[in-house]
Amino acid sequence: MTTKQKLVLIGNGMAGVRAIEHLLKLAPERYEITIFGSEPHPNYNRIMLSSVLAGGASLQEIIINDWNWYSENDITLYTGHTITRIDTDRKVVTSQQGVSVPYDTLLIATGSNPFMLPLPGADKEGVIAFRDIKDCETMIEAARSYKKAVVIGGGLLGLEAARGLLHLGMKVQVVHINDYLMERQLDETAARMLQRELEAQGMEFMLKKSTTAIKGKKRATGLVFSDGSEADGDLVVMAVGIKPNVDLARASGIEINRGIVIDDFMRTSAPDVYAVGECAEHRGIAYGLVAPLYEQGAVLAKHLAGVNTEGYGGSVTSTKLKVSGVDVFSGGIFNDGPGNRSLKIQDELGGTYKKLVIKDGKLIGAVLFGDTSDGAELFSMIKKEESIEGREKSLLLGVSPDQLAGGSGSGSARLLAMADDEIICGCNGVSKGTIADAILNKGCNTVGAIKTCTKASASCGGCKPLVEGLLQIYSGDSIGEPVKEGICGCTTLSRDEIVASISEMRLMSVNEVMNVLEWNNSEGCSKCRPALNYYLGMLFPEEYVDEKESRVTNERFHANIQKDGTFTVVPRIYGGITSPTELKKIAEVAEKYEVPLVKFTGGQRLDLMGIKKEDLPKIWSDLDMPSGHAYGKTLRTVKTCVGNTFCRFGTQDSMGMGVKLEKAFERMNAPAKVKLAVSGCPRNCAEASIKDVGVIAIDGGWEIHVGGNGGIKVRATEVLTVVKTEDEVLEWSSAYLQLYREQAAWNERTAHWMERVGLDYVKQALEKAEDRQALVGRLQKTLSLTSDPWKEIVQSDDLRKNFEPLAKPQPVNS
């Protein structure tokens, strides 16, 4: 048996792990792999951080390789470990926590660090970068307490940070030293169009401003500029660029310039030590875009696997991305210069712009704004340095010469003309050749299958039209049903097909459903198991026994797990109304278990944070209060204002109504989390108009609003009906929520469900009193069978064993 070589990867980011993915395909048995990552997460898509910040994606949704992937590939993973020493003589790396691992081959992929301007006051509280999950969490937390933010940097990163902060409800000013935005990716015309679009979204700009200091005492309160003007802000985000993270390499005696110096095979100056990604410098260039880094990783993997490769010759860069909802593309040399000539077309009404830069009959650069569908084809021409003489106008107008002459051209011809190494999916670095191989040789005949096999279109989805085009070209008659994507990759069945089958065949367990309905993966996955568990409980509330193992971690432990492995406990406080006795009880528990932080939540409750897993049953027992279900797909909160009990503007008892609603719906499982609010007058202090169900008091009655959302895509509620009594509020709210429970897809918020089915459909379904009563009856029957889960855990020795602490934290496969 051949002894495996020991390969150590420093850095658990996109570039290094992509190289490992390639290597596992080429030489799966050649290396024993150990990976060290400074962050406490598995490999995630850093490009999608702006979506996390804006609330459009969770950390779980941007994970590229989950914990299971490391185990399945026999990779030892140390998260939260920063390597502090490389001994290139003894070939050993050592982490800050004292773990030492020998290597035969070492790969450094430490990425880059955000560049922080050395300004007076830069060390103040409230001054951060925008680079990782921790930065996102800091911004989200700041937005709960502060309302003004200033972003230094009008490049891509700064604009994405600003967009996310706008979604969090903050007023945002963007400060930029140049006279127009994104000067590295856009020409002035496109930049001005982008600025107008972002201003319409609520962003403010201060251009040609040089920051000289950050004002404030302990916490930042704004910026001071060289011209004497100022900007106020409680949060200062620096997004002015990145610099290769070379400190470890420098300390280890490895040659560095701006980055770690590498050759065409990613070799550094130290024997058997390689570098890849943003930390590396190749032929004087340190790349900061994902496509070149993936190209480096592919070459390195071939080299390490012993596969013949010509080496890495550098990359012509392009940028195709969505800046705050606007599509932009740039590639090559896009600014006018000596010897260049440019063709431009601009549609102010349609919000599109296209510029081609030509030199010596060749396309050397392009800028697209609003419509980027031609980006891949144009970039391929830039890289090939091919002549476009005679085709300039057809390229500008996006049509073929035949179409200009009145003939018919084919969009497929453009895709066929692309080089195989052309990147189709920028988020995951998937080339045209990889997608073609998946279609031709791996049986991927649907977009869903391609997504599962290659990860193309699995992130932002912007490349889906190109993926569909390639599918049409290469699949031919064998193309699968284009809309036949199931609830996950384990099945082709839709939500409605699954629910109908469960009901008709009276399937009574998750495993039975997967077996009878012929799941591709007999064990299911983290997407389908919780969905099936919910559908079974919704259809058969009296007969089905909830499968705890099919619930997500937070629901299994009845608390929100935090990044450090501790949990938060949120007892229910009905309608945000509490008492001295209740407050004393919470305070005593917090002191007894040395809870590090007690915080008021946005839903008018108290959050006990930093609790050890083994203390959870004892804390709930001592609290003797219902769970606030802050962790579940269920009723979270009912927010209230003080109403006519105290407020001179109040017209109804909003607090009393809120308590009734919360007691009526607590423990109600749903396809997604549900939030309610009751405002005592149209001034709407409880923000009822952006809740799943909002109740607003008016003179002599109540308006019932539905389908609101305050997340990444803010959606105002629609008025379902107007009623006179509190009993009618409960009846209509119950009927609406049960209709949603029975018809929505798993993970589908009421706002998305309402957009799909429409208000008219909901009104028609609830129009008749007998139909409403039937829905109310089914909901009440379901709720009568539930109890607070903590009573079961506190009273059951078997369930309490789930909360016993692990003996010692272990690497993934130890």
Q: Residue ranges for the binding site? A: 641, 647, 681, 685
For residue 70, the surrounding DSSP H or E stretch is helix 67-72
Task: Select from 489, 488, 457 the least CA-distant residue to 471.
Answer: 457
For residue 129, the surrounding DSSP H or E stretch is strand 127-129
Q: What contacts 561, CB < 8 A, 6 or more positions away?
A: 553, 554, 567
What is the rounded CA–CA span in Å between residue 538 and residue 54? 31
Asked if residues 715 and 687 have their Cβ atoms less than 8 Å apart, the reply is no
DSSP 745: P
3-state secondary structure 360-383: CCEEEEEEEECCCCCHHHHHHHHH
Take residue 531 and report the two structure tokens written for it: 């969905």
> Which CA distances in Å does 594 have to 71, 565, 620?
35, 16, 15
Q: How far is CA 792 from its chain centroid? A: 34
What is the rounded CA–CA span in Å between residue 312 and residue 315? 8
Task: Select from 57, 58, 95 the least CA-distant residue to 77.
Answer: 95
Task: Select from 772, 667, 660 the least CA-distant residue to 727.
Answer: 660
Question: Which residues contribute to the annotated binding site for [4Fe-4S] cluster?
Answer: 641, 647, 681, 685
CB atoms within 10 A of CB 542: 8
Task: Select from 524, 601, 544 the least CA-distant residue to 569.
Answer: 601
Bridge partners (DSSP) of residue 722 are 703
Tokens 């528990």 label which residue?
589
Tokens 């085709």 label which residue?
391
Q: What are phi and psi of 478, to 5 degrees?
A: -90, 5
Side-chain half-sphere CA neighbours of 225 within 13 A? 16
The angle at the Cα of 490, spanning 484 to 496, to the nearest 5 degrees, equals 50
Bridge partners (DSSP) of residue 706 are 693, 718
Sheet of strand 230-232: strand arrangement: 211-216, 220-225, 230-232
Per-position DSSP letters for 501-551, written without gaps between them: HHHHHT--SHHHHHHHTT-SSTT--TTHHHHHHHHHHHH-TTTPPP-GGGS
For residue 434, the surrounding DSSP H or E stretch is helix 432-441
Question: Which residues contribute to the annotated binding site for siroheme?
Answer: 685
| Residue 674 amino acid letter | V
Take residue 362 and report the two structure tokens written for it: 């060749």
Take residue 159 and report the two structure tokens written for it: 């604009």
For residue 739, the surrounding DSSP H or E stretch is helix 726-743
* Burial profile 706-735: b = 16 or more Cβ within 10 angstroms, e = fewer: bbbbbebeebebbebbebeebebbbbbbbb
What is the rounded CA–CA span in Å between residue 361 and residue 332? 15
Asked if residues 736 and 720 have their Cβ atoms less than 8 Å apart, the reply is yes
Bridge partners (DSSP) of residue 204 are 173
Pairing of strands 100-102, 105-108: unpaired
Torsion over CA: 60, 62, 67, 71 (sign): positive
